[in-house]
Amino acid sequence: MNYRAIGSKICAFAAAIPEHLCELFFLFILSIAIRHENIWGSLVTYGTAILCYFLFSLFLNRKQSFVLTFLVAVGISLSSCIKTELLGIPLQLYDFQMVLQLLNVDGLSDISQFWEIHEAQLTFLYSSITLVVYSLLFWKKQPVQKFYAWMLILPFLGVGTIIFAMKNVEPDIYNQMDNLKRHGAFGILYSQLYKAASMTPEGYSASIQKSFPVNSSSKERPDTLPNIVLVLLESTIDPSRLTDIKVEPYPTPFLEELKKKSLYGRLSVPGGTANAEYEVLTSLPLKSLPTTRVPFMEINRHTYSLPSFLSEMGYQSFAYHMGTQKFYNRNVVFKEMGIEKYYTRENYPDKTICVKRFYHDSTMFSSIFSKLKKSMNPIFAHALTLIPHHPYDEKHAKFAFNVNSKNSDAENKRLANYFSRLRYTQNDLAAFIKQVNTLPRRTLVLMYSDHLPPLSSMRKEKGSLFYLLYDSKGQLPTGKNSDLATYELATMLLKKSFFPLRGIDSIVSDEHNADKLELIHFDMLYGEQYLSKLFTN
């Protein structure tokens, strides 16, 4: 045995360790610089940085590996920060599936607000300082070293750090901005994998059916089945509930008048349009899942829902969205939920585009009314407005508003343009309600917010999100109703309209059923659907 050669290798290892520890130390500083409000988020980022550094070191020298690791960590963190600002939800795993679709979404390329995003500013500043200090101290001073065998401990160190830190990462689906601040972009991404590994609830088997009622005791039914129209109001708020922003003239006078003839209340939402849709249509709260997911991206089998329940009662069901068919997998999701036809902008090639590639919401409402007017059967329609979607460019502002707030002039201008978008949709909605009132069949229109507009000045205005239930024949009670979450809206609609209730409705109504909802949610989305009778008549 060549002891001299072995001794030389050991000495080489020992000589290399201090040099590589410089990179590991600065990667830790970088993880702190990428703004997290707790140490666990920083540790998740650090573990990820170690793994990236190790992988790059297989092909590059350590300085090049450090710089590339820096670019990956900072790039993903800033992307998540900007996406949260623009869309209200951090970077998710499904974003990598949707990258081509996302590049075609108006507004995602609009990052003019970047230098007004405080978290992005600080992340960029602190991480850049870290890179500059590292370069000044070590870039020219130390010779380039090759990969050493001792570095094989790095993947174990990185994975171990991530696993240890992820035990303390608990994202809140109803507070996406807080998720990003506390856990960081990588904590959010890993939570979708780490928590999913142990998603199957303890004791899950066919025997769980014995623990749940087959259906509700309610056998009530309206004398004549009404049309039901759900209208998701993109980025729409109730201006009367704004606390720090004053605007003139009032942006939505029609909605304010409609409140007097409707049942309305404040609304808690999960963040993201697709998530709000999912909760309303399935009555399943995303908080009952152990991780932050977007179920629309995972649905590929029959999913019990409000439209599938209504179809048992003789309803025809349709969905409308002036976006594209495949965005957020809606073309698959709606079909699996029992919706017969999904209309998108591809179905209206001859219509005039209103805002960039978005059609005027009147196109959608006219199509819905035509369907309601011609059908002999009750109709269920699920519609998504689109005009209030960001970016709020001045060139699209048709209506003039004066905004008074403590924000910058640029932010106030964006707010004014946003309120102009609201006026667009409100006018289209007003025309639709007027048409609905002429129908012989009673029609219920449930309108609800999906999330706040992606403006920094709106972050504290969660109390301005709302729902509003209108009855064209005035048979429902009117006035202020209790505050609800989106997953409670379908149950409220069925109860107030004297429909037969499903088993899930009695469970949703009881705030002490969190464990039951977790079990039901897993069963319906990922399991064997043993509890499907909870969603049927």
Whether the pLDDT of residue 282 is over 70: the answer is: yes
Domain 228-529 fold is Alkaline Phosphatase, subunit A (3.40.720)
Question: If we measure between CA atoms, which residue out of 480, 467, 474 comes closest to residue 231?
Answer: 467
The one-character DSSP state at 138 is: I
Mean pLDDT value of segment 398-405: 88
Instruction: Answer yes or no: is pLDDT of 392 > 70.
Output: yes
Rounded CA separation 166/161 (Å): 8
Per-residue pLDDT averaged across 343-363, rounded?
A: 73
Cβ atoms 387, 421 nearer than 8 A = yes
pLDDT in tens, 75-90: 888 877 777 766 667 7
Predicted confidence at residue 340, as pLDDT, reads 95
Q: With pLDDT > 70 as the criterion, what percentage of the chain qualifies? A: 78
Tokens of 366: 């006219």
pLDDT, residue 231, reads 98
The mean pLDDT value of the chain amounts to 81
Higher pLDDT, 139 or 323: 323
- Tell me the pLDDT tens digit for each residue of 47-61: 899 899 888 888 887
Q: What are the CA-CA distances from residue 398 to residues 355, 401, 454 (Å)? A: 11, 10, 20
- pLDDT for position 436: 97
Q: How many residues does the chain have?
A: 537
Which pair of structure tokens corresponds to residue 467? 């729902």
Whether residue 238 has pLDDT greater than 80 = yes
pLDDT tens-digit profile of 21-54?
777 888 888 888 786 767 888 888 888 998 998 8
As beta bridge partners, residue 228 has 380, 444
Q: Give which of 423, 446, 419 is closest to 277, Cα–Cα.
A: 446
Highest average pLDDT, of 123-127, 153-157, 245-249, comes from 245-249
Domain ranges of the chain: 3-194, 228-529
pLDDT at 94: 65
- pTM (whole model) above 0.95: no
Answer whether residue 408 shows pLDDT above 60.
Answer: yes
391: cis peptide before it, omega within 30°? Answer: yes
Yes or no: say if 363 and 343 are a contact pair by the CB < 8 Å rule.
no
Provide the terminal-to-terminal Cα distance of the chain, rounded to the nearest Å: 80
Instruction: Give residue 409's pLDDT.
Output: 86
| Beta strands, E only, 243-321 | 246-248, 262-268, 316-321
3-state SS class at 81: helix
